[in-house]
């Protein structure tokens, strides 16, 4: 009688100790009574290809990918989804039965699902979105917002050239503002997103003037340490609807978990509590 293999998954990065993914996936495995394990793996860039080709032989069905491997993993994968290609990064790998590595990016999906959880819901067509930052996370956010039907994205980054590069990649629905003018974007914005690390514990504050925030606008910060950043605090006081960054992390984990372990998990208050342990 052949032994039934227990599915294994995990997260690969370097460093990896800070990742909350193991807490989230283990919570789901345990509460749903599923067989399976999810482990963090610190893998150096030079070893990534070897490790990814070895893991399926050890019973792994897939992995999450985090910094610094999200871009380089596209070169290793056999199949890459359109959205991962557009974003230029992957965060979820599926090891297929035919031996092929399938790469996807669920960050944009997680971002939109998180926004939809705001009180009163999120209407992408309500007006332009203002976006601070032009890094990897910004690419996922832009792709997802354009796809959801946001009419225009106003973007500002400390280094303007990076924002200009995004405009040339994503097209005319992006309008670039100088960093010194970033606060002006808020006058028009129905959605406001901080995709920079500014305001995070141990990082400099987000010094953009926030007096232009529109009452009723949906404001989110991808930073989730602290859970309530200065941006969210000020937005709440201005009568905006706010949603913290932790939800994006929880929702982006759902598609991978479902593919690996065969059951779709729910993002609820118990999931949030597990991530914050």
For 40, the token pair is 């963090």
Give how far Cα 146 sits from Cα of 112, 153, 191, 260, Å: 11, 8, 13, 29
For 174, the token pair is 């992006």
Count how many residues are written for the chain: 277
- Encode burial over 158-181: b for 16+ CB neighbours within 10 A, e otherwise: eeeeebeebbeebeeebbbbeeee
Sheet strands side by side (includes 174-177): 174-177, 153-156, 129-132, 191-194, 218-221, 241-243
Q: Which of 49, 70, 97, 230 is catalytic?
A: 70
Residue 93 to residue 189: CA distance in whole angstroms:
35
| Phi, psi angle pair for 200, to nearest 5° | -80, 155
Query: Which helix (H) or strand (E) segment is 51 a member of?
Result: helix 48-54
Is 70 known to be catalytic?
Answer: yes
Angle at 146 between CA 233 and CA 188, to 5 degrees: 50
Q: Nearest Cα to 138, choosing from 109, 161, 108, 110? A: 108
Residue 190 to residue 130: CA distance in whole angstroms:
8
Residue 154 to residue 182: CA distance in whole angstroms:
9
Just list the catalytic residues: 70
């Amino acid at each position: 009688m052949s032994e039934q293999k227990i599915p294994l998954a995990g997260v690969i990065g370097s460093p990896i100790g800070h990742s909350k993914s193991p807490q989230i996936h283990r919570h789901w495995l345990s509460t749903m009574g599923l067989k399976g394990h999810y482990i963090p793996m610190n893998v150096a860039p030079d070893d990534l290809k070897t490790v990814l080709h070895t893991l399926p032989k050890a019973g792994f069905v897939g992995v999450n990918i985090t910094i610094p491997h999200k871009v380089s993993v596209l070169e290793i994968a056999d199949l890459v989804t359109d959205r991962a290609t557009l974003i230029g990064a992957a965060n979820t790998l599926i090891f297929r039965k035919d031996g092929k590595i399938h790469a996807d990016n669920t960050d944009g999906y997680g971002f939109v699902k998180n926004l939809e959880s705001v009180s009163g819901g999120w209407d992408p067509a309500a007006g332009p979105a203002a976006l601070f930052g032009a890094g990897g996370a910004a690419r996922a956010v832009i792709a997802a917002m354009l796809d959801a039907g946001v009419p225009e994205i106003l973007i500002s980054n400390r280094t303007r050239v990076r924002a200009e590069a995004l405009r040339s990649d994503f097209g005319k629905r992006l309008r670039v503002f100088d960093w010194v003018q970033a606060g002006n974007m808020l006058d028009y914005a129905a959605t406001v997103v901080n995709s920079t690390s500014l305001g995070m514990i141990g990082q400099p504050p987000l010094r953009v003037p926030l007096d232009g925030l529109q009452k009723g606008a949906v404001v989110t910060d991808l930073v989730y340490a602290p859970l309530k950043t200065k941006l969210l605090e000020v937005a709440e006081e201005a009568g905006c609807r706010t949603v913290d960054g932790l939800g994006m992390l929880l929702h982006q984990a759902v598609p991978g978990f479902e593919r690996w372990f065969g059951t779709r998990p729910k993002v609820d208050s118990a999931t949030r509590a597990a991530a914050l342990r």
